Structure 1
Amino acid sequence: MKSRSSSPQPRSKAPVAPTAQPGEVRIISGQWRGRKLPVLDVQGLRPTTDRVKETLFNWLMHDTRDRLVLDCFSGSGSLAFEALSRHAHSALLVERDQKAALQLKQNLARLNCSNAEVRHSDTMQLLAGPALQQFDLVFIDPPFRQNLALPCARLLCNGWLKPDALIYLETEKELDISELPPSWHLLKDKIAGQLAYRLFQFQPV
């Protein structure tokens, strides 16, 4: 008779969802769930982490479908791609760096996405001009500590936002947001490491 081993049997580990690796972004949910897209190593480009992005889109769970999206400092395009995957109506991705803008166009082609436009432009200059249209979901995730977030917020109020538009703002955590437009009403906020991320609603007087 064989004696039974008294050593405990190893427990099977629960499957772990894959995360984006350096040089790529991963789409978390929607029609392109699990797709990974390449990202260039560009100075100042800092893709939103999977954990922060997951929290944001939990906040936006019922508020992406059919939205007109503006991604102000698109960079990797991670936020716009996620919204498009979750059936946003369309998206305008604004990116100043020429190589990053080209990468965005290539990634949209990889996704066979026809309802998004990449504009190679300086965001502040674009917003300072006449509004191209009004948007109801806006992402603002500029390079940190370059004094871009608050001026961008003020420019958006010049005709770029639909009433009740939702605005996501990701900044360095020490940024004083007391100078944000009074028409921006805070809905959600959270701190993660060195960054703060917040969701606002635009309610013009």
Structure 2
Amino acid sequence: MKTATAKPATSKQATAPKQATAPKTEEVKDSALNELFIDELKDIYWAEKNLAKALPKMIKGATSAELKTTIENHLKETENHVTRLESVFNSIGEKAAAVKCEAMAGLLKEAEELLSETEKGTMVRDVAIISAAQKVEHYEIASYGTMATLANVLGYSEAVELLEATLAEEKNADSLLTQVAENTVNTPAKSEKK
């Protein structure tokens, strides 16, 4: 008598992310979790739209060419994030709507204060801009990570894909800001006088 043996999992099978399943329309649409997910989408939609308005001020205030370029590139991504969020809303059958994000409003206010409290044309100002920008990035990384997870639980596979694409871009933006700080800004800022 032969015994059946299980085939070993291929590396692709072992590492493939769990895919979201199709939503159970009424069950999902009426769930409190779905309501929270939509509220979070509205929140980050407001955040991205307002960040797109704030980034040009950071670009104008930056001293180093590398920092200006990094923020300019992220501004283009941020504009795309707004469009991508509209696609997320569409993919779940909701109209895109923004609700004020108090967290982002606070982070953007702090960024404005840092710009006004640091001297124009200094590397210290660039350090302040990077600090403010990375606080924003970390907020966005947390938000997109949570929303991608919730979209997966709710069965919104298209939304998962869109949100994970933005999450990857936010993580990359944070990494690039760190590189600019470490390679261009922090050391010269250390020698600037008050």
TM over 0.5: no
Higher helix content, 1 or 2: 2
The TM-score, its normalising length taken from structure 2, stands at 0.24
Higher strand content, 1 or 2: 1
The TM-score, its normalising length taken from structure 1, stands at 0.23
User: Which has the greater radius of gyration?
Assistant: 2
Larger RCO (alpha carbons 8 Å, 6+ apart): 2
